[in-house]
Amino acid sequence: PSCFAARSILRRSQFSGKRSKVCFDQVLEFSFPLCQGFTSVPSHGGATLGMRQRHSALQRYTLAEHALQQRHRRRERLRERRRQERFQTLKHKLIASGAVEQREAEGLTADQVLLDDADVSDADLESGVSLLPYSSKQRQALLLAAGVKRIDREEKRQLQALRLSREACGCDCRGFCEPETCACSLAGIKCQVDRFNFPCGCTKDGCGNAQGRSEFNSRRVRTHYIHTLMKLELERQLQ
């Protein structure tokens, strides 16, 4: 009936001024054993990392205990990273000076070289630190240390074949794209340029793809990354 006016669902509720909150009083931490993953595609090598279906340990923390634990772990990761960076610098110096040969240097590990522990300040812990990928040798060492007795070498060959197949993408145009001959345009997709001449070889002004052209901008990605870290840090300080 016309006497019953429909109430807009867009109208603010009388309780809209109250902010709902979810509070946590503890943290449950599940630990999973490492295993060979077979699911990711690293940039180089094989021996991908994964975790087993069942956890091996369960730990309960209060929020304060978990914060201290995370801080300790972060400090140790930063200390180990700086130790590895110093080791790589020292190894390059040894090779450049002729003290050791390239093949001999490749067999060295940080544990074989006496390096003082790198200091990690509180400011270092508070600053945003991006995760760095493990090398193929590091992944193998982690798997062996986790008790993996045999690393499947076939995975390395399969991953290399997959990486090569991913190189075969984009159009074959060089400099200019004609809509009638451009493979991307004929497929109804944009040309994509991640780096110079790859995967598509067209230029910004020479691309005639009717769907357009997309170019990777590392500066824009880095700016977005920094802004996100700043936003998260600001939210953390306001809590």
What are the tens digits of pLDDT across the range 106-151? 777 776 665 566 666 666 666 655 677 888 988 999 999 999 999 9
**Which of 168, 194, 214 is where one domain is finished?**
168
What are the tens digits of pLDDT across the range 217-239? 888 888 998 999 899 888 888 87
Residue 63 maps to a domain = yes
CA-to-CA distance for 193 and 198, rounded, in angstroms? Answer: 6
**Which of 127, 147, 168 is where one domain is finished?**
168
Mean pLDDT of 79-102: 82
Question: Domain check: are 121 and 236 in the same one?
Answer: no
Q: How many structural domains comprise the chain?
A: 2
Mean pLDDT of 140-168: 93
Residue 11 maps to a domain = no
Question: Do 152 and 39 touch, CB atoms closer than 8 A?
Answer: no
Question: Domain check: are 52 and 158 in the same one?
Answer: yes
Question: Domain check: are 45 and 149 in the same one?
Answer: yes
Task: Judge whether residue 197 has pLDDT over 80.
Answer: yes
Question: Domain check: are 104 and 141 in the same one?
Answer: yes
CA-to-CA distance for 166 and 184, rounded, in angstroms? Answer: 15
Task: Judge whether residue 21 has pLDDT over 90.
Answer: no
Q: Which residues contact residue 31 at a Cβ distance below 8 angstroms, ignoring those fewer than 6 apart?
A: 55, 56, 57, 58, 59
* More confident: 88 or 136: 136
Question: Domain check: are 91 and 155 in the same one?
Answer: yes
Task: Judge whether residue 10 has pLDDT over 60.
Answer: no
**Which of 130, 150, 168 is where one domain is finished?**
168
Task: Judge whether residue 99 has pLDDT over 90.
Answer: no
Q: Is the peptide bond before 199 cis (omega within 30 degrees of 0)?
A: yes
Question: Do 42 and 133 touch, CB atoms closer than 8 A?
Answer: yes
Domain hosting 144: range is 22-168
